[in-house]
């Protein structure tokens, strides 16, 4: 199989974990290239639910190799807890999981600063996992990477220097107690001992694999509209969740990527703060949220729900170079009399037919909708496109016409078997 990127084309939570799980048997390596344990990829196999935050979903396939790239920020405690859970469920990790020595490490002060900043400023809806502050240190060139964590002398020198700075911020700006060096140093040396077997130069590992004709699936976290450059800034994550991040976050050149697949829900959701033009009224939101089990896999927060927004997805198709679309959760729309598709925004006399970067326009715009009839049948047992209700097929057909991109797979339930080709 060719080398492909699979990513979310909305605000995350599109069902990427399930889609990656479906494609994983066809590739040799599955790679996470950005984000951290703020992600939550859910896979249901025969009623058994796996929620993965750091480790690629492909780990559930026994013969696949999984990589955490240099673009990911790693909380070692969260990583080791995830490894322990997988091992208890009989999933072999040793010899199959590889973590970039260039990945940056999340420390307790990152998480505490994340919490404090969220309390002080206008809320962004952060998961408070320390992701943003860790990326800030990376860009400021004061971060600590796994390669430094594994060298106790280098680690000691770097931790002493940065802890002095962080404690100064915590005590003098926030009035908080700082962190004691010795206990933090010993705690993280313990993590270093346990993670050492997984850490290597994954850039060489992946490029050598390509030379041998192996195939790679690049697994995006979050969604395109949460990308720090192309999302609804500042209500975004702190990394590049778009397809370009697959190269910068792994060291695999863009010419090696053959295809980009975008995953979208048949409606739209987002977690936390930020503009959401097609958001439902409260009554319909509660109905869809309950039916779609729209609660965050990482935080448990209820997701905001709305009509399918074609401007969002067309923006994603453009900035990612998406070749094909997968539509998930079509079954959640069963029983509605009619459905709406957002096709344009109106703001201050201007009609936007393309997704704008202007947050004020997104927060205050009026959405132009196209309405289509719904269907009353239960689609959760449908196993082929031809067996879908006529109005469900018409809805998908209209989505494809507006997006001008081919829909290749449709999902009508959480289990991997509830998926079929277009």
Q: Count the Cβ atoms, other than its own, within 10 Å of residue 198.
A: 23
Mark whether 13 is an active-site residue: yes
The residue with tokens 């807890």 is 81
The encoded tokens of residue 166 equal 């962080």
Mark whether 41 is an active-site residue: yes
Q: Which of 28, 41, 104, 309 is catalytic?
A: 41
Under a CB-based contact definition with an 8 Å cutoff, are residues 226 and 120 in contact? Answer: no
Q: Which H, E and C letters describe the chain, residue by residue?
A: CCCEEEEECCCCCCCHHHHHHHHHHHCCEEEECCECCCCCEEEEECCEEEEECCCCHHHHCCCCEEEECCCEEECHHHHHHHHHHHHHCCCCCCCCEEEECCCEECCHHHHHHHHHHHHHCCCCCCCCCCHHHHHHHHHCCCCCEHHHHCCHHHHHHHHHHHHHHHHHHHHHCCCCCCCCHHHHHHHHHHHHHHHHHHEECHHHHHHHHHHCCCCEEEECCCCHHHCCCCCCCCCCCCCCCCCCHHHHCCCCCHHHCCEEEEEEECCEEECCCCCCCCECCHHHHHHHHHHHCCECCCCCCECEEECEEHHHHHHHHHHHCCCEEEEECHHHHCCCCEEEEEEEEEECCEEECCCCCCHHHHHHCEEEEEEEECCCCCCCCCCCHHHCCHHHHHHHHHHHHHHCCEEEEEECCCECCCEEEC
List active site positions.
13, 41
């Amino acid at each position: 199989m060719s080398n492909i990127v699979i990513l979310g084309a909305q605000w995350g939570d599109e069902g990427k974990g399930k889609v990656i799980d479906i494609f994983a048997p066809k590739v040799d390596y599955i790679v996470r290239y950005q984000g951290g344990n703020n992600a939550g990829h859910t896979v249901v196999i025969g009623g058994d639910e796996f929620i993965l935050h750091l480790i690629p979903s492909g780990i559930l396939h026994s013969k696949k190799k999984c990589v955490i790239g240099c673009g990911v920020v790693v909380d070692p405690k969260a990583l080791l807890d995830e490894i322990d859970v997988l091992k208890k469920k009989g999933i072999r990790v040793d010899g199959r999981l590889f973590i970039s020595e260039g990945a940056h490490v999340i420390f307790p002060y990152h998480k505490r600063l994340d919490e404090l900043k969220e309390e002080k400023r206008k809320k962004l809806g952060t998961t408070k996992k320390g992701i943003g502050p860790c990326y800030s240190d990376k860009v400021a060139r004061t971060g600590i990477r796994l390669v430094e964590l594994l060298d106790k002398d280098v680690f000691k020198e770097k931790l002493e220097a940065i802890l002095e700075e962080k404690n100064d911020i915590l005590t003098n700006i926030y009035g908080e107690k700082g962190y004691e060096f010795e206990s933090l140093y010993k705690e993280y040396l313990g993590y270093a001992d346990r993670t050492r077997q997984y850490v290597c130069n994954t850039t060489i590992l992946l490029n050598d694999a390509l030379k041998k004709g192996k195939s790679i699936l690049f697994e995006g976290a979050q969604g395109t509209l949460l990308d720090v450059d192309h999302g609804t800034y500042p209500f975004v994550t702190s990394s590049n969740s778009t397809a370009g991040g697959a190269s910068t976050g792994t060291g695999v050149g863009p010419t090696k990527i053959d295809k980009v697949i975008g995953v979208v829900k048949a409606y739209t959701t987002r977690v936390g703060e930020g503009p959401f033009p097609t958001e439902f009224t409260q009554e319909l939101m509660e109905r869809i949220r309950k039916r779609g089990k729209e609660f965050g896999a990482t935080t448990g927060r209820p997701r905001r729900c709305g009509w399918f927004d074609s401007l969002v997805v067309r923006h994603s198709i453009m900035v990612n170079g998406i070749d094909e679309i997968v539509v998930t959760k079509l079954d959640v729309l069963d029983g509605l009399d009619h459905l709406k598709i957002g096709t344009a925004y109106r703001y201050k006399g201007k009609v936007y037919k393309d997704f704008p970067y202007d947050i004020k326009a997104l927060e205050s715009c009026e959405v132009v909708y196209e309405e289509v009839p719904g269907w009353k049948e239960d689609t959760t047992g449908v196993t082929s496109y031809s067996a879908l209700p006529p109005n469900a097929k018409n809805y998908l057909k209209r989505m494809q016409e507006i997006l001008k991109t081919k829909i290749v797979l449709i999902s009508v339930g959480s289990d991997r078997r509830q998926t079929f080709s277009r």
